[in-house]
Structure 1
């Protein structure tokens, strides 16, 4: 009977501790991926082409602030940051401000 109680306590302790340890491990792994040199070099290259001069980074895969007017017919410029956005967008892809629908 004592072996069965000890086994049940061991299983209960594992069920309580294991998810917490797995979560902490996942969190540390994601932090390590976020701080990876490859990610930093890609973000630095994106910042080099940024014409705004600010230190704030753009969201990945958003177009540059100025496209030289090549896509003016199919995009709307954001009033806040000037980033081009598709006409169907409600929010800016770079700064997340609301776009004017009357343009």
Structure 2
């Protein structure tokens, strides 16, 4: 087996790299952060973790998820659109039209007004 490294040697090498990264992090990590610890760059939180958020943040999240789902469905569509032909193009435009109805509804309800 000329030139091959044994599996236990690779495991030891990976273990040494992981241990080295942890040791380097322990040596170089900042000390004496405020009460916030590693979160918020050591600053204390201004609000309680269970505080209430305005409903517009939830609406913005749902709009984001709608666009995210659009991308999830468009990627496989792009891969097969050449094989499927005109039917795939029509189906995608129907899908996008339905998403646009949701965006127009959110816009009319004021979901994009941040002031």
Using the size of structure 2 for normalisation, the TM-score is 0.29
Higher relative contact order (CA closer than 8 Å, sequence separation 6+) = 2
Rg comparison, structure with higher value: 2
- Which structure has the highest strand share of the two? 1
Choose between structure 1 and 2: higher helix proportion.
Answer: 2
TM-score, length of structure 1 as denominator length: 0.32
